[in-house]
Structure 1
């Protein structure tokens, strides 16, 4: 035990790690990465791109959609090796600034420069010896990828961020976000940046994060599955199900305050964000479940997180006096969003892309708009210019009533105005033609 501890201390020491910080060792790291990368999709097209994928677990649905174009093969970066390489360039006894671009410690800044030189060799090896065409990531924000985004292209392997965030932002959100981005000096140092919509592009340009001519608006790849007229998710269903995509206190464009959170989406003292809206909406959903035992009622949390489950159970007990386990037709599930939407008679959601998905699939879509959503946080409610496309219950009681009425077969009251719908989809998803995956491939080829 003592020997193991001593060896561990030696291996984690700055002196030992310094041996492997020389760029020469980047060649060996590149070889290891090349051999250990795992193919998750192989295209039969001889002209397909060979892509190495970072953070693949964060956009599996998008990768699946892009693979359908049959013009790219995907290989995942081995996470353990990726972490070990990053660890070489950490400094024991020093903590990095949580805002990456505000770091001022000369020791840590020097290590970043050395890591970029190291990763140049990695990029060269992956390009020349393993014939990768390009590297991709689902976000330009991941701190642990910053050095890779800069270093791999300097070694000859382009690095592109297919940024799946900011789908929901509206123009009135831009000024605050630009201010924060400039204060944190955020920038992207890769080869090209792909965004979902024009609003996202405008945000990056105004924030001076990346050059406008290198930003492409492509849409959201996973939406191809539901926007196509022949989508399998458009088949009529006779299942009797209601789905609530669970949301938290901080579901919206809110300033991040770590000390005020017991979990990423929940206020530590239940006093910030959409507290009453969340509690009463979840409770109303549970009460409706009790009144329609012949229907299946399901909550889908954003994350598979025990803390989130506990929050839901608390709301269920608040609304019904029962735990979720005591209500046979009420449960928490983790099925993919399109599957749940397809099976549902109606969908409840708030400030989420699932709201767009549900509406695109012509499902009655309920957005609760009461409590803080019409009070202190009304400016944090998304889709404000398009709310007539949805049902917007103005109280917990009305939410419960509408779920029960829809369960009885009553028609939805949401608008079917086609022009407004098309404008809505194009505003948030960039396009409504179901060809986003093809555009992504075209943009990647531009880089080459």
Structure 2
């Protein structure tokens, strides 16, 4: 029975593979004759509207099309909820498939794709892509009445030609750049070097979260100061409003009754772009010991405190969760038997912050988010984090005095327990946290959405 089932599955997989090849041949034929009809027909499946969570948007509001939408992490929903725009999103898988139709067999996209004078093969790919996209995007934007195209990062390869050609046909391409965490000197230098490899920005405008990020973009020569603004982070407006609402009604630190600690997990190579990978294959690189010791100690606290809920939150699931599970199993911790320990890549980070008494962070903006939410925050700072080759890449060192900093594993455990007993934060510390949040993340007056709205509408108007 099992063998028969496996045979059937294999046959289906083979048929699917053959079917995909036939479709690809069919699509390439349409490209060769300059017809966009098959792709416009496909768009009904791959472009959908992001509806406001409450009510309807004005039908006359400008229409935005978001590329690589899963990278926006709440910004699209926030823009839709503002009702200042009708927001649509396109499948990044469809984007990648469209781009691949113009690649020769075995082609791998590299930094040389962005050179001002690319080699013959790349020039041929770019010319053929742009020739077809000129008609395809005109037809697509006419179908959905798109006024502006937005991206989430300047270096996403699947977005590059969409943005490039969009500007050519007078549909503005604006990047709401999300990668803005460059708090250390090492981060700044690496960001400037990284941007220099991408040549010159081919879109209309870039919006970043903070002035330091803007400075790096301009210093690299990637974009001129007239084409970039630092306007905060849209999705943070509602977060700050929620914090203010709690303060106004005198809400307790934890919105739930039970005690809870959340550890926002970190990658072994967090913040080390240009030095090593986010998950280094060589365990001699990155924060190998810091990662293992902190996750094991956290699980041990869960084991010793069964009445307290402990959550390890990864930014996403898959391999990240496997990394966490491995270090726990290597330490002999049967984590699945702990009813009070949750290890997950799901859930909303800000909800976890609100519903926790103590937050553990390393190398993430959740540090400042938890900080302005009046949380007791513990930062592990030992082992490889003290190494001279890493110290310039540790995030938020300037802000360490605003939080609890654990210098060894025992302090790490003790400070978490201290926060559960006495989570009080001094008002002067809170004022300094607000200032740090505005410097690195967004505005405490919840003005980011309005700033983005004015900027996008101005760009749309001047491009029409």
Give TM-score scaled by structure 1 length. 0.88
For 2:112 and 2:401, the matched residues in 1 are separated by 39
Pairwise mapping of residues 257-272 of structure 1 onto structure 2 (< 5 A)? 257=276, 265-272=278-285
For 1:7 and 1:315, the matched residues in 2 are separated by 43
Residue in structure 1 matched with residue 175 of structure 2 by the alignment: 161
For 1:156 and 1:30, the matched residues in 2 are separated by 20
Residue in structure 2 matched with residue 331 of structure 1 by the alignment: 342
Deviation at 1:122, TM superposition (A): 2.9
Deviation at 1:415, TM superposition (A): 7.6
Residue in structure 1 matched with residue 150 of structure 2 by the alignment: 136
Q: Is the 8 A contact 1:243 1:348 kept in 2?
A: yes
Deviation at 1:133, TM superposition (A): 1.0
Decide which of 264, 274, 291 is 1:245's aligned counterpart. 264
Residue in structure 2 matched with residue 380 of structure 1 by the alignment: 393
For 1:37 and 1:436, the matched residues in 2 are separated by 26
Decide which of 225, 246, 269 is 1:212's aligned counterpart. 225
Q: Is the 8 A contact 2:271 2:394 kept in 1?
A: yes
Deviation at 1:21, TM superposition (A): 3.7
Residue in structure 2 matched with residue 403 of structure 1 by the alignment: 416
Q: Is the 8 A contact 1:252 1:351 kept in 2?
A: yes
Residue in structure 2 matched with residue 39 of structure 1 by the alignment: 49
Q: Which region of structure 1 is more displaced relative to structure 2, 287-296 or 425-434?
A: 425-434
For 1:422 and 1:8, the matched residues in 2 are separated by 53
For 2:295 and 2:426, the matched residues in 1 are separated by 21
Residue in structure 1 matched with residue 8 of structure 2 by the alignment: none
| Long gaps (5+) in structure 1 | none
Residue in structure 2 matched with residue 354 of structure 1 by the alignment: 366
Aligned CA-pair RMSD: 2.8
Decide which of 377, 381, 402 is 1:369's aligned counterpart. 381
Alignment partner of 2:149: what SS?
Answer: strand
Deviation at 1:31, TM superposition (A): 6.2
Decide which of 137, 140, 154 is 1:123's aligned counterpart. 137
1:230-284 Cα shifts (integer Å, max 9, x gaps) = 5567643223111001112101143164xxx5xxx32223110111111111122
Q: Which region of structure 1 is more displaced relative to structure 2, 83-92 or 194-203?
A: 83-92
Deviation at 1:343, TM superposition (A): 0.9
Residue in structure 1 matched with residue 4 of structure 2 by the alignment: none
Deviation at 1:395, TM superposition (A): 0.7
Deviation at 1:23, TM superposition (A): 8.4
Deviation at 1:382, TM superposition (A): 1.0
For 2:41 and 2:24, the matched residues in 1 are separated by 23
Does residue 340 of the first structure (1) align with residue 352 of the second (2)?
Answer: yes
Q: Which region of structure 1 is more displaced relative to structure 2, 435-444 or 72-81?
A: 72-81
Q: Which region of structure 1 is more displaced relative to structure 2, 201-210 or 108-117?
A: 108-117
| Long gaps (5+) in structure 2 | 1-10
Deviation at 1:348, TM superposition (A): 0.2
For 1:139 and 1:37, the matched residues in 2 are separated by 19
Deviation at 1:373, TM superposition (A): 1.4
For 1:36 and 1:63, the matched residues in 2 are separated by 16
Residue in structure 2 matched with residue 285 of structure 1 by the alignment: 298
Q: Which region of structure 1 is more displaced relative to structure 2, 394-403 or 222-231?
A: 222-231
- How many residue pairs get aligned? The number is 436
